[in-house]
């Protein structure tokens, strides 16, 4: 029934009998309930735009993150693409020639205002198709009360993290370090640890996967032996612990340390957990980079509304609108001017460390159509690398084979 409703909403040419253009936008829901659904944000923004732009209507459908990428792909397959989609992945649509490039849509000031590393991440063959919309990065979170009671100090390296975890365990902290390698979002936790060990998903050229590199094998060997093997990751096996479960446990005060993002910080502090943050530790000091994450706006060619889409997106990316969305969902702005404004505002002082880390962060290889299959392989397999009887090298080699196969298939298209 829901699918039929969506189809009815999005079908049609997008212009009514009076010559009015209706732009169809499908967007992901960043809210956790009906009170803070993204539908409210987009409805307010759409009405404000319509008020100043006679002849253009904005029709917004907001779907859950669980469904939105799949629903948009099904709309495209039915020949009913929306004018715009704000979802998690753009590369498949760009490679298939379905999208307008950003330079054909946006004014020069708008396109130039995207944070450079996010603008580059939205490129396919050096043309930008993915426009960043909402960003976050990761830092190591620790429960200040539990640390104080355990006599632990915030870690700056893996050895220091292990020592802090041992002190927390001695004080019966349920999860000294929460290691979520379950299928929900283990590709994120994995990438953070790989970066900390001097490796990563891709080689230094950024063109080939290196998942079974010596550095990556050593990283998961250390995790298996020094954290999981010593009982420092809690009662749930990492391969069965999803990110949201770990976050919920942190909010309940059951976790000493985990890798978190700004939304979790706000949620935990509202629950009375005093949160400390430090940059992600690495094997011999601060990690070479942290994980950066961005979601994407894209514009489909099918309905032909290039001029109207571009004008609307110039409005969407005005500072006041970027800041309103970032504030509502504890995200980082995706534009230079809005980031500068957030950094200068004392009310956003807690976000400054995340802004600083974002500049040097590393994103998933989202411009590569093979990434979706690689990510799925990580989610399916990585938990076994640290399980009793598991062999990190063998697991990483399996994921590497899947990555090579995915990249070959993408290249053959």
Domain spans in the chain, listed from the N-terminal domain onward: 2-136+293-361, 139-289+369-412
Q: 5 vs 348, which has greater pLDDT?
A: 348
pLDDT in the model for residue 268: 95
pLDDT in the model for residue 35: 87
Q: 19 vs 368, which has greater pLDDT?
A: 368
Q: Helix axis angle, 186-196 relative to 243-251, nearest 10°?
A: 80
Q: Taking residues 130-137, report their average pLDDT.
A: 96
Strands 56-63, 123-124: pairing kind: unpaired
pLDDT in the model for residue 413: 62
Q: Is the dihedral of CA 369, 372, 377, 379 positive or negative?
A: positive
Kindly report the pTM of this predicted structure: 0.87
Say whether 139-289+369-412 and 2-136+293-361 share the same fold.
yes
pLDDT in the model for residue 9: 38
Q: Taking residues 19-40, report their average pLDDT.
A: 91
For 109-122, the pLDDT digits (tens) are 999 999 999 999 99
Q: 271 vs 36, which has greater pLDDT?
A: 271
* 78 three-class SS: coil
CA angle 6, 106, 207 (to 5 degrees): 85
Q: Taking residues 266-276, report their average pLDDT.
A: 95
What is the fold of 139-289+369-412?
D-Maltodextrin-Binding Protein; domain 2 (3.40.190)
pLDDT in the model for residue 369: 87
pLDDT in the model for residue 7: 36
What is the rounded (10 degree) CA torsion for 236, 238, 243, 248? Answer: 20
> Which stretch of 26-35, 301-310, 330-339, 373-382 has the lowest confidence by average pLDDT?
26-35
How far is Cα 281 from Cα 159, in angstroms, rounded to an integer? 9
Mean pLDDT, the chain, as a whole number?
92
Q: Answer whether residue 408 shows pLDDT above 90.
A: no
CA distances from 292 to 288, 295, 336, 355, 377 (A): 13, 10, 16, 10, 20
At the top level of CATH, the class of 2-136+293-361 is: alpha beta
Q: How confident is the model at residue 149 (pLDDT cuts 50, 70, 90)?
A: very high
Q: Give the Cβ contact number of residue 317 at 10 Å.
A: 25
pLDDT in the model for residue 106: 98
Q: Is the dihedral of CA 398, 122, 359, 66 positive or negative?
A: negative
For 175-223, the pLDDT digits (tens) are 999 999 999 889 999 999 999 999 999 988 777 899 999 999 999 999 9
């Amino acid at each position: 029934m829901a699918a039929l409703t969506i189809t009815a909403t999005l079908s049609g040419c997008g212009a009514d009998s009076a010559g009015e253009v209706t732009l169809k936008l499908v967007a992901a829901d960043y809210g956790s309930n009906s009170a803070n659904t993204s539908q409210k944000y987009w409805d307010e923004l759409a009405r404000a735009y319509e008020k100043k732009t006679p002849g253009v209507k904005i029709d917004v459908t907001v779907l859950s993150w669980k469904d939105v990428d799949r629903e948009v792909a099904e709309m495209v397959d039915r020949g009913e693409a929306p004018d715009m989609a704000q979802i998690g992945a753009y590369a498949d649509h760009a490679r298939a020639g379905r999208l307008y490039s950003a330079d054909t849509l946006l004014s020069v000031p708008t396109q130039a205002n995207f944070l450079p590393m996010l603008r580059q991440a939205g490129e396919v063959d050096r043309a930008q198709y993915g426009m960043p919309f909402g960003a976050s990065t990761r830092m190591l979170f620790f429960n200040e009360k539990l640390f104080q009671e355990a006599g632990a100090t915030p870690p700056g390296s893996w050895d220091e993290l292990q020592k802090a975890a041992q002190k927390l365990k001695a004080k019966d902290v349920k999860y000294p370090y929460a290691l979520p390698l379950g299928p929900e979002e283990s590709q994120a936790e994995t990438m953070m640890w790989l970066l900390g060990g001097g490796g990563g998903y891709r080689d230094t050229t950024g063109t080939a996967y290196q998942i079974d590199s010596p550095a990556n094998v050593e990283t998961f060997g250390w995790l298996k032996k020094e954290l999981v093997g010593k009982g420092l990751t809690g009662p749930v096996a990492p391969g069965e612990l999803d990110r949201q479960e770990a976050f919920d446990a942190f909010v309940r005060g059951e976790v000493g340390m985990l890798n978190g993002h700004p939304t979790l910080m706000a949620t935990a502090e509202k629950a009375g957990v005093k949160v400390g943050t430090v940059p992600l530790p690495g094997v011999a000091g601060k990690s070479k980079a942290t994980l950066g994450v961005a979601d994407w706006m894209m514009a489909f060619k099918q309905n032909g509304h290039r001029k109207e889409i571009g004008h609307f997106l110039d409005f969407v990316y005005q500072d006041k609108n970027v800041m309103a969305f970032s504030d509502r969902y504890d995200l980082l702005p995706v534009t230079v001017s809005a980031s500068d404004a957030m950094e200068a505002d004392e009310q956003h002082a807690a976000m400054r460390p995340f802004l600083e880390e974002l500049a040097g962060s590393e994103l998933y290889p989202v411009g590569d159509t093979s990434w979706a299959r690689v990510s799925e392989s990580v989610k399916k397999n990585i938990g076994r690398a640290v399980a009793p009887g598991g062999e990190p090298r063998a697991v990483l080699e399996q994921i590497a084979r899947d990555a090579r196969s995915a990249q070959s298939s993408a290249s053959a298209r």
